[in-house]
Structure 1
Amino acid sequence: MIGLNLVYGVAGSVFALFAVLALADAPRRIANAAFYALLSVSFFAGDLLGDFGNGLLVIALTAIAASGRFRARPREASPERPRGNALFAAALIIPATALVGTLLFKQVPALVDARQATLVALALGVLLALGIGYAWLRPGLATPFREGRRLMDDVGWAAVLPQMLASLGAVFAIAGVGDVVGGLVGGAIPEGSLLGAVAAYAVGMALFTVVMGNAFAAFPVMAAAVGVPILMRQFGGDPAPVAAIGMLAGFCGTLMTPMAANFNLVPAALLELKDRNGVVKAQVPTALPLLLFNLALLWWVLS
C-alpha cells in the first residue's frame, strides 16, 4: 500500500541530491552538505533511529545552524527564458493533482492509505510537475535540483521550523500544558456560552501561534484545552470543522508573528526589505478580519 513511504522517499532523495550538489561546489560547502544529509537520513531512516537517535539528529541540525557556517550561495546570472504567465501552469499542477488525487485515492483504499491520501497526491503532483517541466523547458538534468538547492540555501535553517515547532506542540500536549490552559480558560468562559468557548478557542489558536510561530504547534494545546472537552464533548461539535477552522484561526496568527521566520522574516530578507517586519505589518490588516470571520464561521457551524 502506498503511503508515507512514497512521500518520505521523494523528500529524502531530494535532500540527498542537495547534499551531493553542496559537496560538488567550489569551494565545497561542508556545513550545507551535512545539514541536507542529516535531513535526508531523517526521512529515509527516521523510524529506525528511534526517539533517541532522532533527538541526536535534531541536535546536530541545530549545531550546524548555530555555527553560522550554513551559507547561501552567491547569486548567479541565469539565462532569461520568457514564457509569460504560462509558467504558472506548471506550479498549479501540484495543488490540482493534490486535490484530485485526494478525492480519488480515498475511493481506492487498497491502493493508497486513505489517511495519507493528500500527502501522497501532493508528492505525485510534485513529480508530475517536474516531469512536465523537463519536457517543456528542456533544462539540464540537474538544473531543477540546483535551483531548488539555491532556494533552500537562501531560506537556510528556517526551512525546518515547521517540523520543529509541530514537535514542540506535541511535547507541550504530552506535558499537560493543554490541561493547564483548559483549566484557566474554562474558568473564564461563562457557563454554557457557546460564543465564549468559540472565541476562546479561535483567539487562543491565533495567540498561541503568535507565541510559538506555527499553528501545528498551537493546535495540540488548544485542542486539549478547549476544542475536545468543550466544543466537541460539551457542545457536540463535529471534530472535522472544529479542527479545520481552528487551524485556519491559527494561520491568522502565523500572518502576524515574526516567530514564523520561514514565512515572514525570510521573505523580507530575500526581497531585501528595509523593514525586516515589513511582511508581518502588511499581513495584519488581512489577518484580523480573517480571524473574526473564522470565529463567526465556527460559531455558526456549532449553533
Structure 2
Amino acid sequence: MITYEWLYILAGAFFAIWSLLSLRDRLWGNAAFWGLLAASFFLGSHVSDFVNGVLVLAMVGIAGIGGLKRSDPQTTSPQERFDYAKLFGNRLFIPALIVPITAVAGTLLYNFTPLSETGLFEERRETLLLFGIGVLLALVAAMAWLRPPAIAPAEEGRRLLDSIGWAAILPQMLAALGAVFALAGVGDIIGGLAGEVIPDGSVFLTVVVFALGMALFTMIMGNAFAAFPVMAAAIGIPLLVEDYGGNPAVIGAVGMLAGFCGTLMTPMAANFNIVPAALLELKDQNGVIRQQIGTAVPLWICNVAIIYIGAFLLWN
C-alpha cells in the first residue's frame, strides 16, 4: 500500500538534495535550513512532538538571523529561456498540466472503478498521493522531452526555492499553528462569543459569521488551513452541522474558499502576496493585494450564498 509516509519521504528527498547543493556552494544557512526541513519530513512521524518542535525552532532561528541567502546556481540564462519559450510556445505548459490531470483523473479512476478494491493507496489519501505521482510523471516527461542536464531540475528548484526563502514553508507552519489554537480551546471561546451575538435559529446569520470568521482569521494567520480548525470548532461543527443540520461537505469545502478570500487580502500570506511582489520587483509591496481585493470581496459573497443554499436550502 502506498501511504502518506511515501509522500513525506519524497518531499524530504527533494529538500535533502537542495540542502546538499547549498552545502556544496558554502551557503551554510541555506544548507542547515533545508536540511532541517528534510529531517522533519523523514523523521517527523517517528520522533516526539518535542523533537519536532526543536526542529521548527531551529529553522525559525536560522531565518530570524537572516541565514537564508539567494543562491545563484548555473542554470539557463534569461536569453536561453526566451529562446525556449519562442521555440516551444504554450507547449511548455504540458508538463505542468500532467500534475493536476494525474491527480483528478487518477482519483476518479481509482475511486469509481474496481481499482479501489486493490487497496493500492491509503484510504482518503488518494488525491494527494496521486498529486505526488503526477509531479514525478511531469518531471520524467520534461526530462525526456527537453533533455536538460540531469541536475537541472534540482538546480532550478533550488534557485526558485531560495528566491522565495522561508516563506515557502509558511503555509505548513500556519496550518500547524491553527491546530495548536484549536487544541488550546480558542475555537470554544470564539464559539461562546458567537453564541451570545447570533440569535437562536438564525441560520443565514450564522453562515455569514462563519464565513466572515474564516476570512478574518485567515487574514490574521495568513492561511485558511490555520483558520479552519478554529472556526470549525467554534461555529462550523457545533452550530451549522450539529444544531442546524447543514451539509458538512459543503460547509467545509466552501468555508475554506471563504478563507481563501482572506488570503487574497493580507500581507500575512507572504508567499502568495509579498513574495510575488518582490520577485516581480514591484514598487508597491502591496500591489498584488490591491489588485486582488476586487475579486476577493464578491467571491466571498458568492461563497456565503453557496453555503446557505447548498448546505441548507437544498440539503434539507
Residue 165 of structure 1 aligns with which residue?
A: 174
Q: Which residue identity lines up with residue 208 of structure 1 in the other structure? A: F
Give the 3-state SS of the residue equivalent to 1:197 in structure 2: helix
Please list every run of at least 4 consecutive aligned residues from structure 1 whose deviation after the TM superposition is greater than 3 angstroms: 74-77
Give the total of aligned pairs.
301
Give the CA deviation at 1:69: 2.0
Matched, 1:20 2:47: no
CA contact (8 A) 2:241 2:248 kept: yes
Matched, 1:40 2:45: no
Q: Which residue identity lines up with residue 29 of structure 2 in the other structure? A: A
CA contact (8 A) 2:71 2:158 kept: no
Structure 1 spans left out of the alignment, 5+ residues:
none
CA contact (8 A) 2:191 2:234 kept: yes
Give the CA deviation at 1:232: 0.2
CA distance in structure 1 between the partners assigned to 2:55 and 2:236 by the alignment: 33
Q: Which residue identity lines up with residue 39 of structure 1 in the other structure? A: L
Q: Which residue identity lines up with residue 49 of structure 2 in the other structure? A: D
CA contact (8 A) 1:105 1:111 kept: no
Task: State the superposition RMSD in angstroms.
Answer: 1.2
State the identity as a percent: 55
Give the 3-state SS of the residue equivalent to 2:150 in structure 1: coil
Matched, 1:228 2:233: no
Q: Name which of structure 1's ranges 81-90 and 53-62 shifts more when overlaid on structure 2.
A: 81-90
Residue 86 of structure 1 aligns with which residue?
A: 91
Residue 283 of structure 2 aligns with which residue?
A: 274
Give the 3-state SS of the residue equivalent to 2:69 in structure 1: coil
Q: What pairs with 1:91-170 in structure 2 (closer than 5 Å)? A: 91-106=96-111, 107-108=116-117, 110-170=119-179
CA contact (8 A) 1:105 1:112 kept: no
Give the CA deviation at 1:105: 3.1
CA distance in structure 2 between the partners assigned to 1:228 and 1:23 by the alignment: 47
Residue 27 of structure 2 aligns with which residue?
A: 29
Give the CA deviation at 1:83: 1.3
TM-score (norm 1): 0.97
CA distance in structure 1 between the partners assigned to 2:307 and 2:268 by the alignment: 26
The equivalent position to 2:47 in structure 1, one of 43, 46, 49, is 49
CA distance in structure 2 between the partners assigned to 1:215 and 1:74 by the alignment: 33
Give the CA deviation at 1:104: 2.8
CA contact (8 A) 2:9 2:42 kept: yes
Give the 3-state SS of the residue equivalent to 1:186 in structure 2: helix
Q: Which residue identity lines up with residue 33 of structure 1 in the other structure? A: A
CA contact (8 A) 1:158 1:262 kept: yes
